Chains A and B, each alone.
Chain A
């Protein structure tokens, strides 16, 4: 009788645990989202020859950080690439950076990655790098992520709140799920 009661209690506990688990959101480590497009190879080249000298160091180090932290290879700049980087003073548009792309059947055909000097002129190198990391993340296939990831809607906010300027675990998990 005791055994039966215990078994009932255990199964009831299991049901409660399952119900509770269904209400617990997926861990922040898996909150990344994707654009739905990716490059055909994990060795990705980009063209940074249009970026001015004031912006180039932060852009180059941001691009390399994806190669250093994730399964993306290369991320070195070459004139034959179809991913371009620019600084583009878009004024007080609300956006510190912007990425646009074209895609065919889930494969990127080209991408433009920009930083907006209207805001970024007042940023230090690390904060600029945070914006570039975010934009390169879009150009590689990630959409927005949780508040403590650089793919958060507001990368400068993440830098201000946490001091992050390189890909975070959620960013890396998202990127590694693509390449």
Chain B
């Protein structure tokens, strides 16, 4: 009887240790405070330096205090909607063959970063990394300014709480 109890205790201990050490794994997470929220395409446009349809051709991550995902994209079309750059006075209506787009990754459920091989409509803000550079941008408003291309337009991924932008956009919305 004692032996059976001892075996049972050993089994429970083993399972408990396996539960903590074996089945649990270290996870990483991040979250943060947006500087601004957007309630319309007009306000998003006004805060942007450029609006473009782009293809993502390369991507890497920079693991600094604030992790950044850096994508190399090829502009397919540069759009010049009204109010562009109104807030920053940095409107750009032409982009080089390749530009860099930086994103602060939010959790996957809330707002996935762009994927290599996919096409997006992006609202861009000059990064200011180099005062003269016109090829280095952040996505305007963190996750707000990215719509993925679909057959019949552009679709936004999950929104961060507080942004009240349209879930889908068409080219007509951007003229």
Contact = CB atoms under 8 A, between A and B. Distances in A.
Interface residues of A, number: 39
Nearest to A154: B34
B20 A134 contact: no
Nearest to B160: A153
Interface in B91-126: 102, 104, 125-126
Interface stretch (A21-29, A88-96, A168-176): A88-96
B127 A91 contact: yes
Contact of B127 (A86, A92, A97): A92
Contact of B126 (A90, A92, A131, A156): A92
Interface stretch (B2-10, B63-71, B72-80): B63-71
Nearest to B107: A143
Chain B contact residues: helix, strand, loop or mixed: loop
Interface string A70-113: 00000000000000001010111111111111111100010010
A104 B142 contact: no
A98 to B, nearest CB: 4
Interface of B: 20, 24-37, 64-68, 102, 104, 125-129, 138-145, 160-163
Interface of A: 35-37, 86, 88, 90-105, 109, 112, 114, 116, 119, 131, 134-135, 138, 143-144, 147, 152-157
